[in-house]
Amino acid sequence: MIVGGGTAGCVLAGRLSEDPDCRVLLLEAGGEDRRAEIHIPAAFSKLFKTEVDWAYETVPQPRLYDRALYWPRGKVLGGSSSMNAMIYIRGAAADYDGWAAAGCTGWGFADVLPYFKRSEDHVRGPSAWHGKGGPVPVTDPLDPSPVSLAFVEAALQAGLPRNDDFNGPTLKGAGLYQLTQRGGRRVSSAAAFLRPARSRPNLRIETGALATRIVFDGQRAVGVEFLQGGASHRVDAVREVLLCGGTVNSPQLLMLSGVGPANDLRQLGLPVTADRPAVGANLQDHPIAGLRYRLRRPISLMNAEGAVSVLRYLTTRRGMLTSNVAEAGAFVRTRADDPEPDVQYHVAPVLYEDHGLRPPTEHGFSIGPTLVAPRSVGRLALRSADPTEPPLIDPNYLADEADLTSLVKGLKVGREIALQPALASFRGEELTPGPHVHTDDALAAYVRATCETLYHPAGTCRMGADNDSVVDPDLRVRGVEGLRVVDASVMPTIVRGNTNAPTMMIAEKAADLLRMERGAEAASQPHA
């Protein structure tokens, strides 16, 4: 039984149902992925604050002038992979080697690389770094903006190396991002893994099904209760319950089911199945700040919805509507004590403000330094015992001063790139933070006043070898039986880059763990 039809849940449902002897039920709180904006790459921000978005909000952040930040998360088959920017990034090899060094045996980079490769249908063919023939297309952008190409050249002029493959030997450098697209359309995990599996008789999919409680018999998870069509239902699991709700919903459902900090649960009148204080802790995210410039020419993605652009897309699946918006990027190191990059740039040939909810009124481009090695850690907790109430989300942004320092340095490096000759014919006035904001203190104040999430929360069901971790390296929830968590919430530390590809990898590896255990059980049975 898989709870959550997002990135990880779709991978698991697709992989596990390949075995005709394995019956799989997938429960998803959202609906089918039918909205046109899901499939048109440049339209993803039009999905924000709609029925396919959980539209969470953090608690006020004291180091961000008490701002509460909006967190879009996918509430639809495919989850956030149905509304993200389609960037395919694994992170640094050192991220996974760090997991292994901390006790997560089997999760070093050499261990997980085969699972990344298994998913991939890489446009450049198979290699030591990439796979071919998998369900997830990894493609080069079809029609990158000349602004994005100029950013890459400007980054080289500023001293960064060119990097044509951020999923190769190193993250460092500047280049265009590779994308999970095919033929000018988004390929979410629902499209890649679930759609080919839907005709299998051993796979059942229930949408509009909000899980409200994991049912336990003693310490063993035996089923799930969920709301659907205004009524409460219960389904029992023959083998295991696999929790794939993501970094927000997975810890929330664990706590609603009595697995979490005992004192907090008792205060809400919830029975305690297992006292697990780490459930909801270890919350990490990637905050982003923004540089924005006017364009000297009217060539931004403001034109994407024009008649010419729409006609081109409809007839050829080319043009601006194939843009993932954040087309180009770079990874740089701002910390002397960290050998890997800690800042990633997302560069958009448009003025991207307020998560794209505020349409631009003039042509421009955006350079967004993003902190991908945050040292600040937050927590998620229940707001109430009502499963329809969103939890309390406290990312604790910038609690560690080093995070603010890195973002300030990221803005300064971004400005240096923007001022290079390659961007001179495109670059107009700096709109934000503006030329008057130039001291470190002023830039820090700007970061506090404007930084937002880059949509990569992780870590709230931390994997580890220690007894305090939420799940063990086989992703089993400690303190109970028959229950695993399989999604970005199990990351001990957040990876340096966009989290969609790593989440698919986690689910690919989990599918193998389950298959191997099932095979071992079958082999141990006495034969007649």
Mean pLDDT of 2-15: 98
Mean pLDDT of 334-340: 94
285 with 70: CB under 8 angstroms?
A: no
Tell if the pTM clears 0.85, that is, is over it: yes
Q: Which two tokens stand for residue 43?
A: 């339209």
Choosing from 122, 286, 363, 456, which is the catalytic residue?
Answer: 456
Per-residue pLDDT at 427: 98
Has residue 55 got a pLDDT over 60?
A: yes
C-alpha 273/C-alpha 265 separation (Å) is 10
Q: What mean pLDDT, rounded, does the chain reach? A: 97
Encode pLDDT of 499-512 as tens digits. 999 999 999 999 99
Per-residue pLDDT at 324: 98
244 with 3: CB under 8 angstroms?
A: yes
Closest by Cα among 331, 400, 291, 324 to 168: 331
Per-residue pLDDT at 525: 65
Percentage helix, strand, coil, to 5, in the chain? 30, 25, 45
Per-residue pLDDT at 523: 66
Q: Are strands 274-275 and 56-57 parallel, antiparallel or unpaired?
A: unpaired
Mean pLDDT of 161-189: 98
Has residue 527 got a pLDDT over 90?
A: no
Per-residue pLDDT at 519: 76
Q: What's the farthest any 2 CA atoms get from each other in the chain?
A: 83
Using DSSP's 3-state secondary structure scheme, residue 220 falls into: strand
Higher pLDDT, 518 or 55: 55
Could you identify the residue written with the tokens 């968590």? 485
- Of the pLDDT bands very low, low, confident and very high (cuts 50, 70, 90), residue 518 is confident
Homologous superfamily of domain range 1-29+51-79+92-138+186-283+379-396+458-523: FAD/NAD(P)-binding domain (3.50.50.60)
Has residue 120 got a pLDDT over 70?
A: yes
Report the number of secondary-structure helices (H) and strands (E) in the chain: 12, 26
Domain with CATH 3.50.50.60 in the chain: 1-29+51-79+92-138+186-283+379-396+458-523
Q: Are strands 274-275 and 220-228 parallel, antiparallel or unpaired?
A: unpaired
C-alpha 73/C-alpha 453 separation (Å) is 11
Mean pLDDT of 30-54: 98
Q: Which two tokens stand for residue 209?
A: 């099904």
Class of domain 142-176+287-373+398-450: alpha beta
Per-residue pLDDT at 370: 98
Mean pLDDT of 193-204: 98
Ramachandran angles phi, psi of 238, nearest 5°:
-70, -40
499 with 344: CB under 8 angstroms?
A: no
Element (H, E) at 459: none
Has residue 168 got a pLDDT over 70?
A: yes
Encode pLDDT of 482-499 as tens digits. 999 999 999 999 999 999
Q: CA separation (Å) from 436 to 154, 411, 444, 449? A: 23, 14, 13, 16
232 with 222: CB under 8 angstroms?
A: no
Q: Which DSSP string corresponds to 74-137? A: B-BTTGGGGSS--B-----HHHHHHHHHTT-TT-SHHHHHHHHHHHEEETT---SS--SSSSEE
Q: Is the dihedral of CA 129, 141, 88, 371 positive or negative?
A: positive
Q: Is 39 a catalytic residue?
A: no
Percent of the chain with pLDDT over 90: 98
Domain with CATH 3.30.410.40 in the chain: 142-176+287-373+398-450
